[in-house]
Chains A and B, each alone.
Chain A
């Protein structure tokens, strides 16, 4: 797992209070990890803060899984 993926995973574990093994690349924040719509807003804010990137609202709406977040951040930092 890349450094970015590890850091994303840690944020998800901290914010959603879920077990590490559940946080796979394909895990959906809402369907698999018990987040609600407010939790996902806060997750996106935490990603922005951790990685120093800006995630516009329309992009945020398409970040539904752990993998989506990793991909967006890798692209933004490339």
Chain B
């Protein structure tokens, strides 16, 4: 199979617009959680979220008008705008602008979303009820569909290769990058624009996830303390929003044009829990098998892993993942650093796996593990370094990124430093 490397990244995250701005703030220990003020939350159990810093575009704020014309924004839900922004950034970062027919056909798009245009569907429902079917916009459907992120990106950049999407809840971003890598490995494309996007912060979503008992509800008065993976006082995740997109490229294709290489995508694992619609199986076997498959594909063993970007949502499931990792790494536990960046940016749902894969690539690039914020009192003892509070400089050549989603759907990616060999 052909080898696949990451040659560009782009993101819109609660810590900022742009990969480098987000990364710098993440390493500095900044926390994006705050009280939601844009809509009524008093009757909701969870009143906090990690929102994108909206602004005029300066100081890494996100100005939607910089990425999509206002008249086009009006037709789509925000997850599509975030995807367009992240894809623009990633393509520019990679220096890939296919203009020939051949290059356009060799470049595909695979961007997913966990939920898609939830808020737009709610608004459409109100319109149908209050004003009738003749008032439903012709843009109602194409502005909400999950694969329209891939569609819109392909149209803007004339990318006429495989056009696909993924919907696997919170594993979406990781599955998108894994599946897109395979399309390149198998020769169906030379370059793929891959990742995830999500815009879930609205009343129905906060109500729905709280009803599932998934959200933190005990830290509304102290939002920055709410996302605290592995800590005894954790009580659920904090919802985030944004998009992460990478440019995946066949190794020789990247080398031939002198592209910068962040890391190589060497492993990808997938599994199903077959246990419960929202809870992971208590034995963590699905997570274990998923990581094991990814390492096997990479031709690596647990002894090779330096850093793990955990799924670590700040729910009870954190310890299930941790136990699965301990089972995987065995006696090597003490040499591994594992952190949950959701402690800083919240849970970006369908975008999480993509944003976290980018963090994993940057951890390799810069030899530093981003921190797990708020880890004051770990709920269980482990020999694994959970990187509490502050980032840790250390050698990182192999990183594993986990994503687990509702429905018992698991994905793991293994990235390795590219050394030219």
Interface residues of A (CB under 8 A from B): 14-17, 38, 41-42, 45, 48-49
Residues of B within 8 A of A41 (CB): 138
Q: CB within 8 A of B139: which of A16, A17, A38, A49?
A: A38
Q: List 7 A-B contacts (CB under 8 A).
A: A14-B71, A15-B71, A17-B69, A17-B70, A38-B139, A42-B137, A49-B135
Question: Taking the complex as formed, is B156 at the interface, i.e. its CB lies under 8 A from any CB of chain A?
Answer: no
B138:A42 contact, CB within 8 angstroms? yes
Contact of B134 among A14, A15, A16, A48 (CB under 8 A): A48
- Are the C-beta atoms of A45 and B134 separated by less than 8 Å? yes
Contact partners of B69 in chain A: CB under 8 A: 17
B71 and chain A: residue at smallest CB distance: A17
Q: Which 5 A-B pairs have the closest CB atoms?
A: A17-B71, A38-B138, A41-B138, A42-B138, A42-B137
Q: Enumerate chain A residues within 8 angstroms of B134, measured Cβ to Cβ.
A: 45, 48
Which residues of chain B come closer than 8 Å to A48, judged between CB atoms? 134
Q: Mark B133-172, 1 if CB is under 8 A from A, else 0.
A: 0110111001000000000000000000000000000000
Q: Let me know if B135 and A45 touch, CB within 8 A.
A: yes
Given A42-B137, A45-B135, A45-B137; 14 other pairs, CB 8 A cutoff: A15-B71, A16-B71, A17-B69, A17-B70, A17-B71, A17-B72, A38-B138, A38-B139, A41-B138, A42-B138, A42-B139, A45-B134, A48-B134, A49-B135
Complex: chain B residue closest to A39, CB-CB: B138
Measuring CB to CB, which residues of chain B are less than 8 angstroms from any residue of chain A?
69-72, 134-135, 137-139, 142
What chain A residues lie within 8 Å of B71 (beta carbons)? 14-17
State in angstroms the CA–CA spacing of A64 and B72 once bound together.
Answer: 21
- Contact residues in A for B70 (Cβ distance below 8 Å): 17
Docked Cα-Cα span, A23 to B265, in Å, equals 52
Q: Cβ of B135: which chain A residues have Cβ within 8 Å of it?
A: 45, 49
Residue of B nearest to A13 (CB): B71
A46 and B134 CA atoms in complex are apart in Å by 11
Closest chain-B Cβ to A76's Cβ sits at a distance in Å of 15
Cα distance, A15 to B139, chains bound together (Å): 12
Minimum CB–CB distance from A9 to chain B (whole Å) comes to: 16
Collect the chain B residues with CB atoms within 8 Å of residue A42's CB.
Answer: 137-139
Shortest CB–CB separation between residue A45 and chain B, in angstroms? Answer: 7
From A14, which residue of chain B is reached at the shortest CB distance?
Answer: B71
A38 and B138 alpha carbons, distance in the complex (Å): 6
Complex Cα gap A38–B139 (Å): 7
Chain B residues within 8 Å of A49, by CB: 135
Measured CB to CB, the nearest residue on chain B to A48 is: B134
Contacts of B139 in A (CB 8 A): 38, 42
- Which residues on the B side are within 8 Å of A16 (C-beta)? 71
Q: How far is the CB of B134 from chain A (nearest CB, A)?
A: 7
Task: Output the least CB separation between A48 and chain B (Å).
Answer: 7
Whole-angstrom distance between the alpha carbons of A61 and B139 in the complex? 18
- From A16, which residue of chain B is reached at the shortest CB distance? B71
**Closest residue of chain B to A54, judged by CB?**
B134
Cβ contacts under 8 Å, A17 to chain B: 69-72
Q: Look across to chain B and name the residue whose beta carbon is closest to the beta carbon of A38.
A: B138
Shortest CB-to-CB span from A16 to chain B, Å, is 7
* Cβ distance A47 to chain B, nearest Cβ, rounded Å: 12
Query: Given the complex, which residues of B lie within 8 Å of A38, measured CB to CB?
Result: 138-139, 142
A43 to chain B, nearest CB (A): 10
User: Please, how many angstroms separate the alpha-carbon atoms of A11 and B134 in the complex?
Assistant: 18
